[in-house]
Structure 1
């Protein structure tokens, strides 16, 4: 049974910046809006504290020693694409803003930023992170179930997704209609789907690889 948003863990907010004074300022600002946050003065410190199995919203500086904010974004896109990222920079330009947004960032704010603008962005980020986490979790669970299928069952499922009836699938794969229907029944059972139609809808919704 799919998760709902109420079952998602609380979103954790991180402020990742090598400027300690700025971190304290942001922490005070977010606290005034009843938003708790964890301060990290480097990308490495963040990665040590971060739990990829929970939703997270980052206020992330672009330029930092060792690992930059954009490099951390690349890393997170590999291990936790559900994270909501709000970039902040005193050296931002249009190209950098566009590239980070294309890579999935929620927002890009230039320092010094308007306090209310940052609060609004973080509040939105908290909600977005929860939604992203929910979708990512559902996609991952569905992928795990698809991986339980045999190669033959995957072949049948690919053709079902194309909208082909059992008779056409049988001719295409050189088997009887009865055998196709057996495969369909097994696919439904292995994926815990309410119906083949529901399974196909979820595969297309979450863009899960089948072949």
Structure 2
């Protein structure tokens, strides 16, 4: 499975797509051309970090609408908007919504390359963070309701004795739950798993 970063060029202008693909290829950047948001969604690979060069105005689904959709299904992608219309309000709105950049057509090739290279770097970081967050969430979901209760109190910093008192169980039983949590999640220690939960804000 290829897990290297990829750049998607999403624009309904075939000529522009070809020129951008050529530019990226000259810089040894892997790219995939899509002429609509629907085509992009059909070809989007969630197993790879992604930077998207996205046209603002497209038939059926606009760039900002696709941005909204991606915020739900792939919040780790980097988006570089491009537009032939100097719409300051739209550029502000898309940046506020998480886009990395907003370039007006025709744009300087070097400026686009710089934006893409930064986008790829950010996409890799965010993809790895998102994958780690998802991994921690999935491990938490493997636990029983009682194990989650114990874990939540461990996250609070409570020792086994205090946890046992709150839940009406012996210290030995609490420690059995702690051991099961460690085994189920594959963590090196409960402390390590707790740090991951706090780092990613994982709900319990």
Interval of TM-score (by shorter of Structure 1 and Structure 2): over 0.9
Q: Who is 2:31 aligned against?
A: 37
Residue 11 (str. 1) matches residue 15 (str. 2): no
Distance of aligned partners of 1:30 and 1:194 in 2 relative to their CA distance in 1, 3 Å threshold: same
Cα deviation code 1:140-198 (max 9, x no counterpart):
12211111100011011111111112222122222222211111111111111111111
Q: Secondary structure at the match of 1:105?
A: coil
Partner of 2:108: 114
- The residue number in structure 2 matching 1:3 is none
Runs of 4 or more off by more than 6 Å in structure 1?
A: none
Q: What CA distance in whole angstroms lies between the structure 1 residues aligned with 2:86 and 2:175?
A: 57
> Which of the numbers 145, 149, 163 marks the counterpart of 1:151?
145
Structure 2 partner of 1:196: 190
Secondary structure at the aligned position of 1:35 is classed as coil
Q: Is the aligned partner of 1:66 residue 2:66?
A: no
- Tell me: higher relative CO, structure 1 or 2? Use CA pairs within 8 A at least 6 residues apart: 1
1:205 matched residue in structure 2: 199
Query: TM-score normalised to the size of structure 2?
Result: 0.92
Summarize the Cα distance change of 1:161–1:8 in structure 2 as closer, same or farther, 3 Å threshold: farther
Q: Distance in 1 between matches of 2:96 and 2:151?
A: 32
What is the rounded CA distance, in whole Å, between the counterparts of 1:173 and 1:90 in structure 2? 63
Aligned partners of 1:83 and 1:203: how far apart in 2?
23
1:133 correspondence with 2:127: yes
Q: Paired residue for 1:82, among 76, 82, 85?
A: 76
2:160 to 161, 166, 173: 166
Q: 1:94 to 1:169 in 2, by over 3 A?
A: farther
Conserved? CA contact 1:8–1:130, under 8 Å: no
Contact in 1 for aligned 2:3/2:47 (Cα 8 Å): no
Structure 1 residues 97, 171: CA separation in 2 closer, same or farther (over 3 Å shift)? farther
User: Structure 2: any 5+ residue segments left out of the alignment?
Assistant: none
Give the alignment's TM-score, normalised by structure 1: 0.89
Aligned alpha-carbon RMSD (Å): 1.8
SS of alignment partner, residue 51 of structure 1: coil
Give the distance between the partners of 1:172 and 1:159, measured in 2 at CA: 9
For residue 90 of structure 1, report the CA deviation from its aligned partner: 2.4
**Which ranges in structure 1 are unaligned for 5 or more consecutive residues?**
1-6
